[in-house]
A and B are shown apart, each in its own frame.
Chain A
């Protein structure tokens, strides 16, 4: 007997419809692009063929770029781990003062676009460095910028992603129960012995996770090798793909599909290696309690504080100062003084240059649109993943990680492949419009919104929803009136992360932009490539101000957020 009344039936249809709608959407955003790419690599145009494969893999440029990619990614990761790991240990376990301010400053480079970082450092060290000229220390004219080298790329990658290692390690250290440290100290071990024998072994999981994240980010980074490597013809896989596509057009799509698969495979190897390392031992921590009491540095406290802040100034303030000074001079090479200082560059990029004006509007609307759409997807998605424990969505949760874990160029190529031809049935083409970028943003940043929303759900007492259910409210009504207000803080934090990341990004849009659909990243890049460093600097300065302003604003309502959703806050 399976008689069902209409009200019950409607409830079931609503819930199943929502669930399968979400499954379809996530599959569309995550599995479809990667699948399309794989198909193109091995069967371009629908027929199995190895021509493109042979062409791509037979080219010596491919292997040079692969080798370069591996070298800079691994060296950059090592540098990041050294810097981020040391700083995380010092800033989390010891009694230094002004910890929140330091964390904010140290994490800031991560939130600034890599191409802006690259631009800032170039302005700092080049022969035309406005800042060095101010103090009379600029290199002689005509000499090469020392950053236009492999070492320059490694240095900047290391500095850019050190905060990644810092953040993952710090989260792990904060979750470490204080009893474990105290038990070691009580057994007679000194602080350094405890660090070596207790803390560091238990920090293997966050450290390995940080390393993997860092490696994938270095590997996929486009902005830094584009600004530093292309002038010296030092190419890595993402810049090689960019050059091929920019120079030869969509005709070489199958070939660059292979290249992006190659970079995707390297990234996957990194992630699988992480997984393998984690399985070998048991790192589970059994108790949970408050965070450990910081080690007292005693007379070393002030020197360590000076060291940390000097470092923060060196990697954050100086480059930004370089950027700022360059943005204030009338032409590249002119020294900055009271007579030459001008805001003309800002006026130009804000009001005169058409593409740059469009880019502001585009980047703002696309980032905000992607942030809002993703949050609207993630709230019901998180509901099914966390509370309904839907198996299909748990798998898709992993799938949603894929487009973000993969280097940005991989997703960009996949998006081109998907939308080069007009959409079937409707006959509308998304290629060469802003919509292809919006699609790529949705796919790539979905997981940035999903993570905070999931941690938000985990911290909400589910009986709040059950109480509404008993009161007779169906799922759609519960989502709107009860669940949305409760996860809103976490969702807003996620939306802000998405907005900031998308507003600054270049990797995806460098391959997807078209006239009329420029993004800020693309415009900064083309200014710099065209030799207009002053305009590029002015535009970059504005994006940094927007980023820092938004970060500071969110910090104001950090108290209302679930723990750990804002990377730069405890």
Chain B
């Protein structure tokens, strides 16, 4: 099994920096998701790993083998990896079996070994019986499975998946997600999964690399990413976090500290080495706050918008504090307030973002 090492990768297109000092280490058998909005550099990263583009700086290794650096470039055909493309990229002039067999033919593997492996790969993705069909006659989900079978039949030690679910409808996505997860479990292949969908990344990945504007913002397990975002961009991007200015009032004790935010005091989670400062930033999620019970301390806010989400309401309320921050919180039916109503909001939990200055100050 391969270990994928990306060390300070750099890629420029003219004056535009598409990859800016990105370093990621992927362990054997790990499922890594690369998550970010469109244009964040995740597809550029995939094309670097695959070898479709040349690196301007830094190093990429697959296993012990150096495949990309400024003066060394192993072409894609010699990298021995598998890719599942967003468009599936099935060859329309070949049958399903011919599509799957292609990599084996190229590798010089002959029948009966070849036929056996094609059948096994189709079996694995639940497509035996479809061998003689043309890709044009298959549904989106079936095409995706053929693409997966084609990529796996050569047993690559590293598989890259480029937004493989983006072209499928919501219903199919869930079942394909299960399929990828099962598949990864069974084969133990190292997988790098490019996506812009955080739910997908959270559900599938061992670790997630969040990218924005060509830089790696945070590389962590889904839970850490959600609970302890490393910077304001990740905090805002993952789980619709609200980022608010806060003052730290006490040094951390058992992972928590007292803060003042929007004029009220609250106890929230923080790093054990969090210094006491007036210039901190707090990440709040909708589930961290709620309408205060009578007698509970809370901050004054006015409801601006109320939208029904099925089973619960999403409230958008503006704080009466000087900064006038917009907060969103969930409330169960029946609606506790109407637009224009004044409410009090209690802060039950939160996370002090360790790095008080945003990473993208330069931007």
A residues lining the B interface (CB < 8 Å): 1-5, 7-8, 11-12, 461, 463-464, 466-474, 477, 481-482, 485-486
Which chain A residue has the least Cβ–Cβ distance from B160? A470
- CB of B78 within 8 A of chain A? yes
B85-124 interface code vs A (CB 8 A; 1 in, 0 out): 1110111110000000011001100000000000000000
CA A562 – CA B86 in complex, angstroms? 23
Given A8-B75, A463-B87, A470-B50, does the pair A486, B106 have CB atoms closer than 8 Å?
Answer: no
Pick the contact of A463: B77, B85, B154 (CB < 8 A). Answer: B85
Q: Min CB distance, B337 to chain A, in Å?
A: 45
- CB of B80 within 8 A of chain A? yes
CA A474 – CA B91 in complex, angstroms? 16
Which B residues lie within 8 Å of A12 (CB)?
75
- CB of B296 within 8 A of chain A? no
Q: Which of B107-161 contact A (CB under 8 A)?
A: 107, 150-151, 154
- Interchain CB contact under 8 A, B77 and A470: yes
CA A468 – CA B71 in complex, angstroms? 25
CA A305 – CA B56 in complex, angstroms? 63
- Interchain CB contact under 8 A, A473 and B106: yes
Given A1-B71, A485-B93, does the pair A471, B85 have CB atoms closer than 8 Å?
Answer: no
CA A7 – CA B83 in complex, angstroms? 21
Please list the 7 inter-chain residue pairs (A to B) with the smallest Cβ-Cβ separation, ordered nearest first: A471-B103, A463-B89, A467-B89, A485-B93, A472-B106, A469-B76, A463-B85
- Interchain CB contact under 8 A, A8 and B85: no
Q: Min CB distance, A471 to chain B, in Å?
A: 4
Number of B positions contacting A (CB below 8 A): 30
- Interchain CB contact under 8 A, B87 and A4: no
Which chain B residue has the least Cβ–Cβ distance from A475? B77
- Interchain CB contact under 8 A, B78 and A472: yes
Pick the contact of A11: B52, B78, B91, B150 (CB < 8 A). Answer: B78
Q: Min CB distance, B25 to chain A, in Å?
A: 22
- Interchain CB contact under 8 A, B85 and A473: no
- Interchain CB contact under 8 A, A472 and B107: yes
Which A residues lie within 8 Å of B350 (CB)?
none
Q: Min CB distance, A71 to chain B, in Å?
A: 51
Which B residues lie within 8 Å of A474 (CB)?
77
- CB of B74 within 8 A of chain A? yes
- 9 sampled A-B residue pairs with Cβ under 8 A: A8-B73, A11-B77, A463-B87, A466-B89, A467-B83, A469-B52, A469-B75, A472-B154, A481-B102
Which chain A residue has the least Cβ–Cβ distance from B86? A463
- CB of B257 within 8 A of chain A? no
Which chain A residue has the least Cβ–Cβ distance from B73? A8
CA A473 – CA B103 in complex, angstroms? 8
- CB of B81 within 8 A of chain A? yes
* Given A466-B50, A466-B52, A469-B76, 14 additional A-B pairs, CB 8 A: A2-B71, A3-B72, A8-B74, A8-B78, A11-B75, A464-B90, A468-B102, A469-B52, A469-B75, A471-B150, A472-B106, A473-B106, A477-B106, A482-B91
CA A11 – CA B71 in complex, angstroms? 16
Which chain A residue has the least Cβ–Cβ distance from B81? A470
- CB of B41 within 8 A of chain A? no
- CB of B214 within 8 A of chain A? no
Q: Which of B49-73 contact A (CB under 8 A)?
A: 50, 52, 71-73
Given A7-B78, A463-B85, does the pair A471, B72 have CB atoms closer than 8 Å?
Answer: no
- Interchain CB contact under 8 A, A467 and B85: yes
Which chain B residue has the least Cβ–Cβ distance from A466? B52
Given A3-B72, A473-B106, does the pair A461, B77 have CB atoms closer than 8 Å?
Answer: no
- Interchain CB contact under 8 A, A466 and B85: yes
- CB of B82 within 8 A of chain A? yes
Q: Min CB distance, B94 to chain A, in Å?
A: 8
Q: Which of B17-75 contact A (CB under 8 A)?
A: 50, 52, 71-75
- Interchain CB contact under 8 A, A470 and B71: no
Taking each of B77, B78, B85, B102, which has the highest tally of chain A beta carbons within 10 Å of its own beta carbon? B77
CA A60 – CA B130 in complex, angstroms? 77
Given A2-B71, A3-B72, does the pair A471, B102 have CB atoms closer than 8 Å?
Answer: yes
Given A11-B77, A461-B87, A464-B91, does the pair A4, B106 have CB atoms closer than 8 Å?
Answer: no
CA A486 – CA B94 in complex, angstroms? 11
CA A469 – CA B50 in complex, angstroms? 10
CA A486 – CA B81 in complex, angstroms? 24
- Interchain CB contact under 8 A, A486 and B93: yes
Which chain A residue has the least Cβ–Cβ distance from B108? A472
Given A4-B72, A464-B89, A482-B91, does the pair A471, B78 have CB atoms closer than 8 Å?
Answer: no
CA A461 – CA B103 in complex, angstroms? 19
Which A residues lie within 8 Å of B89 (CB)?
461, 463-464, 466-467
Which B residues lie within 8 Å of A482 (CB)?
91
Q: Min CB distance, A353 to chain B, in Å?
A: 45
Given A1-B71, A461-B87, A466-B85, does the pair A473, B78 have CB atoms closer than 8 Å?
Answer: no
CA A469 – CA B90 in complex, angstroms? 13
Q: Min CB distance, B67 to chain A, in Å?
A: 10
Q: Min CB distance, A8 to chain B, in Å?
A: 5
Q: Min CB distance, B305 to chain A, in Å?
A: 34
CA A477 – CA B105 in complex, angstroms? 11
Given A464-B89, A464-B91, does the pair A470, B72 have CB atoms closer than 8 Å?
Answer: no
Q: Min CB distance, A389 to chain B, in Å?
A: 12
Which A residues lie within 8 Å of B93 (CB)?
485-486
CA A471 – CA B80 in complex, angstroms? 7
Q: Min CB distance, A11 to chain B, in Å?
A: 5
